Amino acid sequence: MDGSTQLLATEGAEELLKSPTVHESRLFALEGNDARCLTCERRCSIPPREAGFCKTRMNLKGKIYTLVYGDIPSISINPIEKKPFFHFWPGSRALTIGTWGCNFPCAWCQNHELSRTPPDPKNATYTSPEKLMQISSKSTCHGTSVSFNEPTMLFEYALDLFPIAKRLGLYNTYVSNGYMTVEVLRMLREAGLDAIKFDIKGDADAVRRHCKADVNLVWRNVNEARRLGMHVEVVALLIPGVNSETDSVREIIQNHLRYAGADTPLHFTRFHPNHQMTDRDPTRIETLEQAHATARKEGVNYVYLGNCPGHHYENTYCPNCGELLIERYIFDVVDYRMRRDRLCPACGHNIPIVGRIKMSVGS
């Protein structure tokens, strides 16, 4: 038990339960004095007064409680391309929220200030789903996005938030490492989750070594999300010495074709030093371009490069004739040439785009 968890354990259960950010978990099982969390595939067995791996779930009075319901330390309005979603409501903006904690220990995390910080219910600032949607109604947002840290930490909150957003005509998205249980994925879909971006951390060996996780469970969820009718995009951050080798990239591509399909967008993004990996060099552009070439050769129709401002592989091209369809600069849609029926204007090929395409503000 670390220091922050010990501090929580000194608080009386009754005091913790008074916090509006402490809610009974929707998925857990009792195992004697312990309780097993069924929110993510770590399936932590949590003794009384202790927290699980992610530090956001605690065993109080024999039940699992989330400590971060409505605890929203990070909120902003982002282009949907920042997630990145390139085939889902291009040019739109999403009210984006995040909380504390994570179920992956990635040494390169760009949001480590959130993901590595345990929650503190006693000093939390609570934002109800209704209040959050009031904020959204005063902005020019087209949807919601649970992001920054792992959105599965806000599972119970999302179940209440998403139906409200849908009633207001907004879409709902997740930016996830994909390690939730199938039950969670199905419940999120039923609540109104429209799209999910899966971060694939590497091949099986890299994910096991660096994330202490089974990447096959993530690919299973990629396939299940598509089966449930959600829009899916897949991202692989290529990190030198972790997952950028040819064999690792090829394994990602083969699994993408098997579980996501040829028409599901695949993004290769450039690593920049961060968190515990500040001594590494950024990924070479040539490494990303080679990954792009391999994916296209293997049959992935829509392959993108990220964190490479101004690169032509930020754009969407027709996989049949090569026509430039959506031109981007970083997170902005600066031009598009696609027909309203989502057909390529040059050859008539059907392009899988969800939602209306908008020119980005200021383009």
Please report the pLDDT score of residue 55 as a whole number.
96
Yes or no: say if 186 and 215 are a contact pair by the CB < 8 Å rule. no
Blockwise average pLDDT, block size 10, the chain, 363 residues: 49 81 97 94 96 96 96 96 97 97 94 93 94 86 96 98 97 98 98 98 97 98 98 97 96 98 98 87 96 98 97 98 96 92 96 90 50
Strands, DSSP E only, in 287-346? 303-306, 316-317, 324-329, 332-336
- What is the Cα–Cα distance from 343 to 91, expressed in whole angstroms? 18
The DSSP string of 76-106 is EEEEGGGTT-SSBSTT-EEEEEE-S--S---
Q: Is-cis flag, bond preceding 352, omega within 30? A: no
Q: What pLDDT shows up at residue 140? A: 84
Tokens describing residue 166: 């849908």
How far apart (Å, rounded) are the C-alpha atoms in residues 275 and 207? 18
Amino acid at 231: H
* CA separation for the pair 73, 293 (Å, rounded): 40
> How far apart, in whole angstroms, are the C-alpha atoms of residue 92 and residue 288?
27
CA distance 336 to 327: 6
* Tokens (6 digits) for 351: 């392009």
List where CATH 3.20.20.70 sits in the chain: 74-321
Tell which residue, 127, 80, 109, 123, has the closest CA to residue 358: 80
| Cα 93 → chain centroid | 16
The fold of 74-321 is TIM Barrel (3.20.20)
| pLDDT at site 8 | 53
